[in-house]
Structure 1
């Protein structure tokens, strides 16, 4: 397929290289100059080549195009993969909208970003697929080089409109990421693992990060002690209360994690998480104001809290984390954040297919 990856960060660069090696014609669109400029310029000036390291083996991927021109990148593309931080999705989607027509839009991950597309592309017959998480945990290890560290065995996605699920899956199967359809896009959005572990993990890491100046810190390995895990379960219960009320299956964070990460059906779900944390997770975050908080609190927790208010479900753990994170970093994440009112209640009802 002709594929455009929107975003030139860790995941966007890695997935672009992976799909190119699988035989697709891949374009990377860089949307701003805020991050990863050296990596982008290296790829641009090296004949659109990226070295992908997987299982200690390096392969060179050659992309079709590397550009900052939205029109050049999007026109003629069959599949567009949105790989920008969720804080910037609304602005990027507005800039994309005039070049969209009948493509599949894969959002990695979404937090209901489909609603932004529905606002900007009302009459366009697009198919939207929101993923729970990226299929590959990865890092830019040096400019022009990426390393794949952990890969999901399954990748649940929500698809809208539901009537085009078969059509979407037939195309998405060509990516070889073992996509599994969820009930709807809302279910996929709320199973974004960053909603739970990034927010609690990063907030509870603040003293450790500041005491050590962020040196040699591994959040997944260090922070999830017994008491912190109680907080994880508390926030997860609130999320499951919301999902159940919306007609989705009551699946815990660890069970969703196990489904994505492991094919061993008889392995305890918590054991799967802690195996990932110990043996496969990446280091960091290194600063108190990492995207684990500045992205996942306003775009994830604020959205979850707004869903709770809309459905008249109490979310005290979620609300407390928003308040404490805002206080700690001296920011008002609630005023910055994503709510269903801001992104459109009527479109929210539409993607529930009710």
Structure 2
């Protein structure tokens, strides 16, 4: 493979603010520690937590890189001590603690997965953050089972397009909300039984009608605010409401009577701060349950648009517009 360079191009947040604060800088190429691998990245996914970090609202956990980027795909070019599964030259996608917006990134070997057959590097870079998040929240915490019904809010997002496909492929009846009629048919094509344009319809009424007044078994919500009470009102007995973000805010006033009458569960999680052992377990479950679906072409990351690494600001402008369908990805030369 030849010697590694001493320095690399990465994207730094020069000061908290708008997309323009994302600027290319030169940083030392990191060295993998015990249990880690060094990946020469070809692509990196852009995610909502990156935006919050750029705005100064989501500081990295202790020990994590200050530069943004939570996922990427590329080729392993160096191994730390104790890495036994991976070899130099392996093509992987990885969940990162940060610094995915860069030419090279270090990742724990346990948070790497092989690029599935037939999946491009751009698609592979769009997998880890969303697939790890959907699996642990919808199928672990939400315990969604075949034959149950599922509602995801923000259906056109990277999380949403992933959740729709995974839930449908694993046997659930899927509902999704979107803002705008143009996104309805694309989400139906991904496996959603009913896509609700929240600008024109009340999702509570649609869910009640679409489930014979039973309600849905699992809801994945990233909205919060006034959606919390509305979610409770359209859930089935024994339903599970799972939170991963609060675009409308986390503080709400609630009538919790439905929680008792219908024996509901409200739960949620964040991914970045979880222990390596937790993330390794999620990776193992994905490889067993979801990787065969990716290799068979039954699930595919939906790519909205790509930008060169040096134009990370442009990628964030696209993210801030909130009009994307699927994932935004940086191409790394």
Q: Same fold (TM over 0.5)?
A: no
Of Structure 1 and Structure 2, the greater strand share is in 2
- TM-score, normalized by length of structure 1? 0.30
Of Structure 1 and Structure 2, the greater helix share is in 1
- TM-score, normalized by length of structure 2? 0.32
